[in-house]
Amino acid sequence: MTVARSALAAALIAASATAHAQQPSDASDVAPSLRPAIVAYRQGDTVTAERVLRSLGSPSADADAWLGAVLLERGAKAEGLKLIQRAADAGSAEGQHRLALVFINGDAGIPPNPTRAVELFEKAAAQGHRRAQLNLGTLYFRGQGVPRDLIQARAWLEQAAAGGDVYATYALGRALSESAPPASADPTRAADLYRRAAEKGHMLAALRYGMALAEGSGVKQDLPAAQRWLLQAQQNGVPEAALALGDMAVRTPATRDKAANEKILQSAISWYQAAANAGVPSGQFKLANAYLAGSGVPRDPAQAQLWYARAAQQGLTGAQQALGVMLLTGTAGATDPVEAFKWLVLAERGGHPEARAVREKVGDKVSDRDRKRGEALAQAFKPTYELPRDESPPRLVPVRR
């Protein structure tokens, strides 16, 4: 499952620079005078929200912050930014939080400034602003605007999760899953947090909890329960769950029943196919391995090369190494020394343990001209990701018991 974990990194951390706390639909988290406007705003009715906020007889700094947010969304950036800045200067936690979002996202014509955003999130978070606490913890987790610091990340995420917010609960689980001295991982607490978030419909948490159950990491191993959670995640828009289901099938111990073993292998291949088609690079890599070896599918080097190429283009080091070797040896029928050298250079830069030895071994078989062209292509390479980089928090879905 190590390969699965590395491939999931981008998906399992909040996709945007900031996370978003769950907000009460009745707007009970704001002053009573603001609630009608904020309810309308959270329901997407910015026209009503603006009208109600402008009609307030005695607008507060918080009202300015909310009106500024509404105006930014409606395209009135100059007025919106002015109101948010005024609210922040007046000490409004909402204003400080909103201004931090402007700086982290580079909105309203303001260049992105993560360091300034952290300062503003800290001011709002110190006043108990839950979304600012979540966003600040996320930035410490990512090392964006500040040096990466799991201790600080966990401290702020603990505060954000104290009220039961599902997004903060998941984010805290992520922070507890990893270690970076002096912070040690706490897989038991992380698994419990994933469970709690998953039970509220957070499907990335369902993926993480399913993986924990499959591995027995921080929780007693329970393969049927792991499969249930992973299936829910896969059926609700988390294609990485298909990869995890394939890995579960592959790890199933073989028996003397050849037909049963073949059925399990076919199940694994079908899950890898689903993950690969959805754009999961490790799914593409494992499907390519199957085609190259003829394991569970007819041996087909051309198909293997195609799937290695898709995973390599997304930056997966193992696929880059395999593709380089195939293009160098002509395993699929054609050689391309320039492209081969490019992928081997990229694999070496990505830390693949065999890449340098292979590249040096074949160096005399590639002309100086082709090597230079391959190195230039490697220098210019930028990964192209197939999975969408959705900046919104994942929607919560009903959970089947």
- CATH number, domain at 365? 1.25.40.10
Please tell me whether residues 151 and 84 are part of one structural domain: yes
Q: What domain range includes position 250?
A: 186-278
- Cis bond upstream, residue 114 (ω within 30): no
Confirm whether 66 is domain-assigned.
yes
pLDDT tens track for 28-37? 889 999 999 9
pLDDT tens track for 210-230? 999 999 999 999 999 999 999
Full-model pTM: 0.90
Give the pLDDT confidence score for residue 9 in this predicted structure: 35
Give the pLDDT confidence score for residue 10 in this predicted structure: 32
Please tell me whether residues 273 and 290 are part of one structural domain: no
Q: Which of 98, 126, 161 is the last residue before a domain boundary?
A: 161
Confirm whether 387 is domain-assigned.
no
Question: What burial letters (b/e) apply to 16-37, b meaning 16+ CB within 10 Å?
Answer: bbbbbbbbeeebebbeebbbeb
Q: SS3 for 180?
A: strand
Please tell me whether residues 216 and 349 are part of one structural domain: no
- Closest C-alpha to 88, from 110, 40, 121: 121
Which pLDDT band holds residue 13 (cuts at 50, 70, 90)? very low
Please tell me whether residues 243 and 304 are part of one structural domain: no
- DSSP letter at 279? T
CA-to-CA dists, residue 163 to 23, 36, 93, 158, 399, angstroms: 11, 23, 18, 9, 21
Please tell me whether residues 57 and 150 are part of one structural domain: yes
Confirm whether 371 is domain-assigned.
yes
Is the pLDDT at 362 greater than 90? The verdict is: no
Token pair of 349 as six digits: 């830069």
Please tell me whether residues 324 and 230 are part of one structural domain: no
The least confident of 9-18, 52-61, 333-342, 346-355 is 9-18
Number of compact structural domains in the chain:
3
User: Would you call 279 exposed, middle or buried from its count of C-beta atoms within 10 A (0-12, 13-18, 19+)?
Assistant: middle
Please tell me whether residues 290 and 274 are part of one structural domain: no
Give the pLDDT confidence score for residue 18 in this predicted structure: 53
Residue 267 belongs to domain with CATH number: 1.25.40
Confirm whether 286 is domain-assigned.
yes
Query: Across residues 150-169, what is the average pLDDT?
Result: 96
Confirm whether 179 is domain-assigned.
no
SS3 content of the chain, % helix, strand, coil (to 5): 65, 0, 35
Please tell me whether residues 62 and 135 are part of one structural domain: yes
Please tell me whether residues 373 and 320 are part of one structural domain: yes
pLDDT tens track for 125-155? 999 999 999 999 999 999 999 999 999 999 9
**pLDDT, averaged across the chain:** 92
Residue 302 and residue 288 in contact, taking contact as beta carbons nearer than 8 Å: no
pLDDT tens track for 293-317? 999 999 999 999 999 999 999 999 9
pLDDT tens track for 63-102? 999 999 999 999 999 999 999 999 999 999 999 999 999 9
Please tell me whether residues 221 and 142 are part of one structural domain: no
Please tell me whether residues 300 and 374 are part of one structural domain: yes
Token pair of 275 as six digits: 């993950």
Query: Across residues 375-392, what is the average pLDDT?
Result: 90
Confirm whether 333 is domain-assigned.
yes
CA distance 89 to 66: 14
Confirm whether 294 is domain-assigned.
yes
Contacts of residue 104, defined as CB under 8 A and 6 or more positions apart, other chains included, come to 17, 18, 112, 113, 114, 117, 135, 139, 144, 145
Comparison of pLDDT for 288 and 393, the residue scoring more: 288
Please tell me whether residues 241 and 136 are part of one structural domain: no
Confirm whether 385 is domain-assigned.
no
Is the pLDDT at 12 greater than 80? The verdict is: no
